Each structure stands twice: as structure tokens, then as C-alpha cells.
Structure 1
């Protein structure tokens, strides 16, 4: 079970790292043209960059320690709810499903690390 939790946390860390690097370092205008990045066209650049920095912190949080991974997983669940709502409003059903899959993985990490 512990190995499964570390693998799940590693997958989420990779997702967070990828999203964090993109949102932090890619210009908002370019992000808005990418698949799944259309929402950034309606957001302020500072907000997008802040989300990116938080995702970079989440990448570290998932891997540093089991207790921190649990806290990070709880925060990631909230982030994925917001992402799913945002993509749902934009009619991006495939991305909503992906957000819900990440949410489920984070719930697994949270439940496993709290137990």
C-alpha cells in the first residue's frame, strides 16, 4: 500500500511540476492558444503565474514527507474542483474528466496518508 501511495504521489507531483512550469514561465498569451489553456485568456497574468508557483510547491509537497503529502493532496483536491468547474463552464468535458481523475488520485493519497 505504501508503494502505491508513493507512486500516486509521484504521478501527481509530475502533473503539478509540468503545470507549474508551464503556468509560471510560459507567457499567458501563448498558454491561451494551447489545448486546455483557453481559460488563461480570461485570467490575469499574475493569477496564472500564482497558480503555477502553487503547483510547483505542490510538486515538492507530494514528495517530501507523508504528512506533507496528505496536506498537499487535500489542497490539490480543492484545486481540481476549481479546475473542473472552470473547464466545465467552458464546455471542455474531456478536461473535466482528467481533473476528476487527478482529484480521485489525490483523494487516494489523502486517505492513505491520513489512515
Structure 2
């Protein structure tokens, strides 16, 4: 289980780190122009907050398990990212946009959480 956690968790962490950093460093208008039309419905600080949550979630998946300090936080961070993706899917459905990318990341984050909890128990 631990190897599966590291494979899936590492990929999920990289995806969320990249997405979160993009939201943090690029202005809202640039994000909207690059295909993230959903940003039009949110204030710039909210978009930055979403990006920060994604970056912290990515760090939270990897760092506790890597250091061995409070490793229970890794699957908890993945569970928190599941909630972020539920919100993303709802936003995309309300805007009549394709929610598939959000749902895929939701499933991968949930898989990471399950594998993380299983690795702790096993």
C-alpha cells in the first residue's frame, strides 16, 4: 500500500502544486484568458486562496509522510483536496462547463487518501 500511496500521492501532489502555483502567480485576467473562465465568477483574492489551498494540500500530502512527523496529516490533506475538487466540480457544472478534469482529480485525491489511511493501518 505504501508504494501505491507514493506513486498516486506524488502524481496528485505534483498536479495540485502546478495548478496552485499557476493560480498564485498569474493575475486573474491572465487565468481567464488561458481558459479558466470560472475565475470571472470570483474575486482575485478568492482565486489566490484556492491556489494557496492547492499548494498547501500538495505539500501536506508529501511532507508529513516523507518526514515521518505526524504522517496522519498526509491522507487528511488528500481528503481536504477532495473537498476542494467537489467545489470545483460544482462550479463547472453551474457554469455548464466540462467538470471531468475536476472529477478526475477528485477521484485521484480520494484514492490518495484511502491509500494513505491504509498504509498507516497496515
Larger Cα-atom Rg: 2
Q: Considering only aligned residues, what root-mean-square deviation do their CA atoms show, in Å?
A: 1.2
Structure 1 residues not aligned, in runs of 5+: none
Contact 2:12–2:109 (Cα < 8 Å) also in 1 = yes
Corresponding position of 1:34: 34
Following superposition, the deviation at residue 42 of structure 1 comes to 1.8
Measured in 1, the distance between the counterparts of 2:39 and 2:83 equals 19
Q: Which runs of 4+ in 1 moved over 3 A?
A: none
State which of 83, 87, 91 in structure 2 corresponds to 1:82.
87
Following superposition, the deviation at residue 21 of structure 1 comes to 0.9
Following superposition, the deviation at residue 77 of structure 1 comes to 0.8
Corresponding position of 1:50: 49
Corresponding position of 1:100: 103
Corresponding position of 1:63: 62
Corresponding position of 1:13: 13
Measured in 2, the distance between the counterparts of 1:109 and 1:13 equals 10
User: Helix, strand or coil: the match of 2:72?
Assistant: helix
